[in-house]
Structure 1
Amino acid sequence: MALSHPSPVYVVIGGGIAGVSCVQSLQNLSHENEAKVMLLSSSSVVKSVTNLNYVTRSLTEFDVVEKDLDELTQTLPGIETKCCHIKSIVPHKKLVVTDQNEKIPYSKLCVCTGANPKIIDANCPYVIGIRDTHTVEEMERRLEHAKKVVILGNGGIALELVYGLKNVEVVWVIKDKSIGSAYFDCGAAEFLISEINNPKVEGDLLKPDPRRAKYTVFNLKSNSSSLVDVHGGSALGPDWHENACLRGSGDKSVTIENETQIEKLEYDKIPQQSGYPLKVILTNGKTIACDFLISATGVTPNVDLFNDIEGCKISADGGVEIDDNMRVCGLNDVYAAGDVCHCSWDKSPHWLQMRLWMQARQMGIYAAQCMVRNHDDDEDMLLDFCFEVFAHSTRFFGHKVVLLGKFNCQDLEADKCQLVVRLTPNKEYVKVVLFDGRLYGAVLVGETDLEETFENLILNGIDLSHYGENLLHPDVDLEDYFD
């Protein structure tokens, strides 16, 4: 008589998009083996994807909604949830230990603890880091009486804040030469700056009032000639700012202090009756007095659960290393997904890891597939297609922005790259990256409708070198390749 194997117990730690996506997929995949699926979250509010839309095979758009654990249980029958803080994991005993010393056994464990915001001075009462709903609410409260704020950082949240804040003077401090350098080059940055000076999107909730808005850029040298040269807790969700009241009590203006950093902060521990309470001293010699500072300088993977475990490795970027089946390197039956991890496998030439909502969802789903497959027959999964080409869609300054492949020539030999740019003022900015004559990446700003065509060209590896600088000419119909 054959011995029956006990039903597997899948435990997921983390209530962000990676963790919830993993649990949702586990619930769909594990009916046949009657598995038990449990989500452990440090917050009673979790994130879930809704209104999912496939723009291309690789590119998706979706909304993120907040749900409480009870609501998640109702929509995912059979899932167990628990709001608790995790003290440690014990891989050799296959146990998760809570801060109340409750021991939760697992067959397969997926850690989706996300990342923590980097805050320049967490002890300063006039510094706030934007990471989750709670910190946004705190920022809204402070903005009610604010006339002037400093924003530090050059990532997605900083870009959204600069555009979204109303009725407040903004000084934007970035260490780079141009805005949004993680996402696009100087040409796209100039396009967006010119657009924010002349907002044109009617009905946009984030549209500044042109009668009151004044924008000043310091040290941002005009780079128009470069367009010719280059012719050759859990985090916030997408569009988080649309439901936030980001309104101050003054007039809107934006000053950009680029290629500089903050040297130190000075403030009065006991607020004065008049004047600004915070002085921000920059490395360029300027001192900015303001109501408060918003620190939006990125995140650090939350790998606390792995710090004292022998065998696993923490990468140079701070994430725990995982293999191509999302398993934590050096540990058995422990997986990781989302911001907490670092993908250490040999990557596709067109894919790169960025800690974005899109990748958190993809990783969570794929981790679930690997957990079930590895349990059922101990065979590795073939790497999912979503890791074949990088594709990300977002909105900055009221414009749609699509990033494909090695959009900023990441890890490519510069002497083999050719950049071709098409700029239509007040309408679109398109940049493509050719490597050895083949399309390796693209930046699309505006409603270009080129996403699917460029994704196909990247994946098919067609030699486009004979087009040269005419590649983006309006008379060249690249879709002919796929008729």
Structure 2
Amino acid sequence: MADKAEKTFKFVVVGGGIAGVTCVEKLSSQIPSAEVALITAGPHIKAVTNFKQVSKTLEEFEIEERPSSVLVQTFPNLTVIHSAVKSLNTTSHCIETADGRVYGYEKLCICSGGRPKLLTQDNPYVLGIRDTDSAQEFQKRLSKARRIVVVGNGGIALELVYEVEGCEVIWAIKDKAIGNTFFDAGAAQFLIPSLDAGRPERLVQCKRPRYTTEEPADGASHIYTAQADLRGNGTGPTEPGSALGPDWHEGIAFRGVEEVSRRVSVEYQCEVEKILTSEELLSSQQQTNTPENGGSWPVYVQLTNGKTIGCDFVVSATGVVPNTEPFLHGNNFLLAEDAGLRVDDQMMTSEPDVYAAGDVCTACWEHSSLWQQMRLWTQARQMGWYVGRCMAAHVLSEPVELDFCFELFSHITKFFNYKVVLLGKFNGQGLGSNQELLVRCTKGQEYVKVVLHGGRMVGAVLIGETDLEETFENLILNQMDLTPYGEDLLNPNIDIEDYFD
């Protein structure tokens, strides 16, 4: 690295995603006189719009891709540098960009996000979906496809299988139930009919009282077909875990060449063993490789359940890894087990004057018993806002307390056209068998699950228009003993809000 920085900024932020942009906005408004630089490789930044504080901790917002000039017009103290980062020298407080320029910083925040974990790096038939370009590439390939294989069970996979039409989808997941990052087997069973014709019929309220074990989905594969598209024109699901933004698929037609509207088969509890071209399949003379449903395909996916499935291409939606390149070389960052940069409760890394926020970092302070880190949009925004506050406070020598948003995990999203609200230890994370579950389910309408621990509510999953999020958030935060209410807590004939307002 060149030894002399051509310009030194008080604050430098790397990354034009939600965490980085929110951090820049916070810094620029806290200390308007400070010179701030945003280093981002792309021409566009991700901006939070239509922000709405739904309750104490729940927030809803949309994300728009905007030219970075919009930020500069708002904050005259901001410089946007369009380049990738080549190297960082934490000793000399310098950062070098790919075009060979060197910038100095007083305080640096790394918000470089995550990069997709692809099944394989250089197979032309394997596509990862992470940003706008890859989503457009997916749309282009899908328009000529008859069958695709989607691998993964997170947010992007959940959305894709619901949105794709005119193409058969084989969905390979390593778990017993769909969407297990976000909900349990009961909620998965509630959502599964949506993969069929779209609008499940509404049935009478069925109330299921307490149960203490999850019902695993059976290991067989299921096929859902929809000859006619019966879906309404509601907005599509929102996306927590990718750099695309909620509603990233709005306005994009994900359509293949087949007449069928939606046809999804789920292969449970399996992973990808090999990806083979048709030539490789022919040359491997093993009988185990007889493809399902015959036919000739450009690529074949061999699964650990013994099935070999031919398709037009494979979508790798198997999560992200913290994007710590190229910051580690020559520096002494401490990394967490998940390879994220370790940060303390002031969002500081192990290197002096270097902070991190969003998907690239791992929260390594002692968490509240009701919060956990999940690499979601909401947390990228919260961390970006909080790290900006911390950096400004440290420069002004002001004290800063851990933000209230880290008291209780909360997230609003949409899956299969249902509103989904997750609160606290919504899947009983870390509670083991020492938990009690209350469930209420009305087919096609709502699914409500409450997690109790020692008679107190510690988590909830709300699917559908339940209007219970604020009441449940209060009950979780108050830690009130709910033993006297028993199963009446979820009795649909009792207006629970009246109890606790």
Is the Cα–Cα contact under 8 Å of residues 399 and 446 in structure 1 kept in the other structure? yes
Is the Cα–Cα contact under 8 Å of residues 9 and 37 in structure 1 kept in the other structure? yes
> Runs of at least 4 residues of structure 1 off by over 4 A?
none
Is the Cα–Cα contact under 8 Å of residues 391 and 402 in structure 1 kept in the other structure? yes
Residue 374 of structure 1 is matched in structure 2 by: 394
Q: Decide whether aligned partners of structure 1 residues 234 and 107 sit closer, same or farther in structure 2, where only a CA change above 3 A counts.
A: farther
CA offsets per residue over residues 81-135 of structure 1, 9 Å max, x none?
0101111111121111112331101111100000000110121111100000010
Matched, 1:431 2:449: yes
Residue 361 of structure 2 is matched in structure 1 by: 341
Which runs of 5 or more structure 1 residues have no equivalent in the other structure?
1-6, 203-207, 215-232
2:271 maps to amino acid: Q
Residue 16 of structure 1 is matched in structure 2 by: 17
* Deviation of the 1:380 alpha carbon: 4.1
Q: Which of 459, 462, 479 matches 1:444?
A: 462
Q: Decide whether aligned partners of structure 1 residues 398 and 238 sit closer, same or farther in structure 2, where only a CA change above 3 A counts.
A: same
Is the Cα–Cα contact under 8 Å of residues 278 and 300 in structure 2 kept in the other structure? no
Is the Cα–Cα contact under 8 Å of residues 167 and 256 in structure 2 kept in the other structure? yes
Matched, 1:383 2:402: yes
1:313 maps to amino acid: L
Residue 239 of structure 1 is matched in structure 2 by: 247
Is the Cα–Cα contact under 8 Å of residues 225 and 263 in structure 2 kept in the other structure? no
Q: Within 5 Å, which residues of 2 pair with 1:11-410? A: 11-31=12-32, 34-200=33-199, 210-212=226-228, 235-250=243-258, 251=260, 252-268=262-278, 275-328=296-349, 330-377=350-397, 379-410=398-429
Question: Hey, what's the Cα distance between the residues in 2 that align with 1:341 and 1:124?
Answer: 29
1:337 maps to amino acid: A
Number of residue pairs the alignment of both structures matches: 448
Is the Cα–Cα contact under 8 Å of residues 122 and 128 in structure 1 kept in the other structure? no
Question: Hey, what's the Cα distance between the residues in 2 that align with 1:459 and 1:340?
Answer: 29
Question: Hey, what's the Cα distance between the residues in 2 that align with 1:429 and 1:115?
Answer: 32
* Deviation of the 1:212 alpha carbon: 3.8
Is the Cα–Cα contact under 8 Å of residues 278 and 298 in structure 2 kept in the other structure? yes
Is the Cα–Cα contact under 8 Å of residues 42 and 83 in structure 2 kept in the other structure? yes
**What is the SS of the residue equivalent to 1:187?**
helix
**What is the SS of the residue equivalent to 2:63?**
strand
Identity rate of aligned residues, in percent? 49
Question: Hey, what's the Cα distance between the residues in 1 that align with 2:342 and 2:86?
Answer: 21
Is the Cα–Cα contact under 8 Å of residues 114 and 234 in structure 1 kept in the other structure? no
Question: Hey, what's the Cα distance between the residues in 2 that align with 1:292 and 1:139?
Answer: 10
TM-score, structure 1 as length reference: 0.89
* Deviation of the 1:297 alpha carbon: 0.3
Is the Cα–Cα contact under 8 Å of residues 16 and 114 in structure 1 kept in the other structure? yes
Question: Hey, what's the Cα distance between the residues in 2 that align with 1:267 and 1:116?
Answer: 26
TM-score, structure 2 as length reference: 0.86
CA offsets per residue over residues 365-403 of structure 1, 9 Å max, x none?
0000000001111x4410001111011011111101110
CA offsets per residue over residues 278-320 of structure 1, 9 Å max, x none?
1111111111110000000000001123422443211111111
2:26 maps to amino acid: S
CA offsets per residue over residues 219-267 of structure 1, 9 Å max, x none?
xxxxxxxxxxxxxx97110111112221110123110001011110111
Q: Decide whether aligned partners of structure 1 residues 134 and 477 sit closer, same or farther in structure 2, where only a CA change above 3 A counts.
A: same
Question: Hey, what's the Cα distance between the residues in 2 that align with 1:311 and 1:210?
Answer: 55
Is the Cα–Cα contact under 8 Å of residues 146 and 312 in structure 2 kept in the other structure? yes
1:465 maps to amino acid: T
* Deviation of the 1:467 alpha carbon: 2.2
**What is the SS of the residue equivalent to 2:386?**
helix
Question: Hey, what's the Cα distance between the residues in 2 that align with 1:56 and 1:241?
Answer: 27
Q: Decide whether aligned partners of structure 1 residues 376 and 234 sit closer, same or farther in structure 2, where only a CA change above 3 A counts.
A: farther
Bigger Cα displacement from structure 2, 426-435 vs 76-85: 76-85
Question: Hey, what's the Cα distance between the residues in 2 that align with 1:69 and 1:238?
Answer: 19
2:390 maps to amino acid: C
Which runs of 5 or more structure 2 residues have no equivalent in the other structure?
1-7, 202-223, 231-240, 283-294
Is the Cα–Cα contact under 8 Å of residues 15 and 39 in structure 1 kept in the other structure? yes
**What is the SS of the residue equivalent to 2:22?**
helix
1:287 maps to amino acid: T
**What is the SS of the residue equivalent to 1:381?**
coil
CA offsets per residue over residues 433-474 of structure 1, 9 Å max, x none?
001111100000000000100000010010012222332112
Residue 473 of structure 1 is matched in structure 2 by: 491
Question: Hey, what's the Cα distance between the residues in 2 that align with 1:185 and 1:15?
Answer: 34
Bigger Cα displacement from structure 2, 96-105 vs 168-177: 96-105
Calculate the aligned-residue CA RMSD, in Å.
2.3
Is the Cα–Cα contact under 8 Å of residues 322 and 342 in structure 1 kept in the other structure? yes
Bigger Cα displacement from structure 2, 471-480 vs 401-410: 471-480
Q: Decide whether aligned partners of structure 1 residues 476 and 290 sit closer, same or farther in structure 2, where only a CA change above 3 A counts.
A: same
CA offsets per residue over residues 205-229 of structure 1, 9 Å max, x none?
xxx9943479xxxxxxxxxxxxxxx
Residue 218 of structure 1 is matched in structure 2 by: none
1:406 maps to amino acid: K
Residue 292 of structure 2 is matched in structure 1 by: none
Q: Which of 453, 457, 474 matches 2:471?
A: 453
Question: Hey, what's the Cα distance between the residues in 1 that align with 2:58 and 2:306?
Answer: 44
